Amino acid sequence: MLGIKSRSTTAESPKSEVGEIDRSAPFESVKAAVSLFGEVAFSGDKSSSRRSKSFSNEKALATETKLQLVQKEINKFKEQLHNAEAKRFQALAELEKAKAEVDDLTIEISSINESKEQALQVAEDAKSQINQLEESRHDGRTEKDNALKHELDGARKQYATALSELDAAKQELRRIRTEIEASVDAKATAIEQEIQAKQLSDANKRKATQLSKDIAAAHESLMHVKLATEKAKQEESRIILENESKKKFFIVALEETETRLASLKKDFDPQLQGILKRKLEETEASICCLQKQIKYAKASDPELIVMLNREMDGAIQVLKKVEEEKRFLQSEVESLKLQLEDVKTEHSKLKENITEIDCKANPCSVIAAESDAPHKEVEKLKMKADDLRSEAEEARLAFADAEGKMQIALRELEEAKVAEARSTQQIKELSKKASESRSSISELGANVTISRAEYESLRRKVEDIEKLTNMKLAAAMAKAEAVRASENEAIKRLEVAQKEMKDMEAATENALKRTEMAKEAKKAVEGELKRWRDQKKKGESIAQVMEKSDRKMNKTPSRKALLPALSGIFHRKKSLLDGSRSPSELANDKHEKDV
């Protein structure tokens, strides 16, 4: 009694847990789902292809403009190199001319020194003759006075001519000294200009070679860019194919989930659940009636009680089986509800994954291209920075060489000044000797005279030399200004190169940051793809579990076959208790039950 009551209470408890199931489909048909997700995917593919094409076109245009600018700079440096070579040849010609003039002046100085020595010798001879004449005059030789006077006049004239030649030699020495100074200055400036022209030509040659290397590197980078664009296109086509395969897989999975939902809806019959509830209520009512009839029949017939007890035990076992089946069916219904909810959530996640993959597949190619492009840009910028550093180092070495050559030129200038001081000292000694000779014959009162043609020729020579020195000075000043301007321009270029190096370092830092960001984005995309694969595996495991549950449901005995047997048993018991049947019929029933 107590056991039957407890079972009845447990059988009544699941009534509150049974609820209605939403059988409405999320989509009207499979075609609607395919069209919905297909439009998003195809639109994303078109936009990604357009972006990649525009990106490659912009890169090609940028490289072509850079090549044109580099070619213009090469032409400019070639013109500068040609001008420097012309200046160098001109300076060499002027240097040769100055050397020839110095040689001519040295020859003139030697001839003037010889004429000066001859004049001094003539003066000494005249002086000795005058002394002899004075001595002979004191001796009283009066008969030869007229002849001596004539000789004395001739000696005086020779002495006057010697003095005039000496003065002319002094003037010629002064003129030659000024010419030597001018030639030394012109030589120094010409040497300096030649050195600067060589430096400019070497620098222009280095720049021309560097620019040719830059052009080759630019061509190579253009080829790399073309190869990268081709690789990006191949990667993009591969990603599009993968997206198509994933899309097809998701469409198939969606169709399978829809078919499973339809099969679950067919298997879950609410009418059958209602029939089971009614039969259960009938069995509970019949059990109550049987309990009452058992109490009434205990006093009447013990054999009938034993038979009824046996039948009651069989009915109880059947009820236990029915109750176990009911529990199993309730657990199956609950598991099916949970699986249905999981399938719905999985369905929504699959939709989200399809949209996310369509959205993220397009940036994948761009991210891959961008992650490769910053590496290339960093390598290019490093190469340019190394080139600029080497160029700056070469410029410093050139400046050091120029300073060394300047020191050598200053030493040569000091040596020229020392030689000039020696020549001036010699001229002073000669002038001192001439003044002594002039004072010795000043008593004679003679005047020194030269011819007008010689005076005019000397004056013209002086004017020509002055004009030549002025022209050389002006040319040297102009060349010095040009050298200073070129030096300032080189300093400015060095500053610009240093600034470009700083800009390139900043650009390398930005490119490294971009590569890090691209790597992070790539990792995020890989993580998302991994998560999607895990979800796919989870969906496959859920599908396997659902297939196993379908097999179990097919193996369980049919509920419709058990219900008639139970109803037949309870009807027989009811008829026995009512007394409508004979003992022979009861015996036949018992025999049938035993069989």
The pLDDT of residue 561 is 46
Which element (helix H / strand E) includes 264? helix 145-267
Q: What residue type is assigned to position 591 of the chain?
A: H
Tokens linked to 238: 């591969």
Residues 556, 325 contacting (CB under 8 angstroms): yes
Q: What residue type is assigned to position 124 of the chain?
A: E
Residues 522-581: tens digit of each pLDDT: 777 777 777 777 777 777 777 676 666 666 555 444 444 444 544 555 455 455 444 444
The pLDDT of residue 593 is 47
The pLDDT of residue 583 is 47
The pLDDT of residue 5 is 38
Tokens linked to 357: 């993959």
Contacts of 367 (CB under 8 A, 6+ apart): 518, 521, 522, 525
Place of tokens 């013990």: 302
The pLDDT of residue 83 is 80
| Rg value, the chain, Cα | 64
Closest CA to 323 of 284, 266, 290: 284
For residue 199, the tally of other CB atoms under 10 A from its CB is 21
For the chain, residues with pLDDT lower than 50 are 1-19, 38-46, 361, 364-365, 367-368, 371, 434, 437-438, 440-448, 555-563, 565-566, 570, 573, 576-584, 586-587, 590-593, 595
The pLDDT of residue 114 is 80
Residues 387, 500 contacting (CB under 8 angstroms): no
The pLDDT of residue 254 is 73
Q: What angle do CA 109, 113, 118 make, to 5 degrees?
A: 150
Tokens linked to 459: 């004056």
The pLDDT of residue 298 is 56
For the stretch 259-265, contacts whose Cβ atoms lie closer than 8 Å and that sit 24 or more positions apart, written own/partner, are 260/343, 260/543, 260/546, 261/25, 261/340, 261/343, 263/550, 264/336, 264/339, 264/340, 265/21, 265/23
Region class of 59: left (phi > 0), else alpha (psi between -120 and 50), else beta: alpha
The pLDDT of residue 584 is 47
Tokens linked to 230: 């081709």
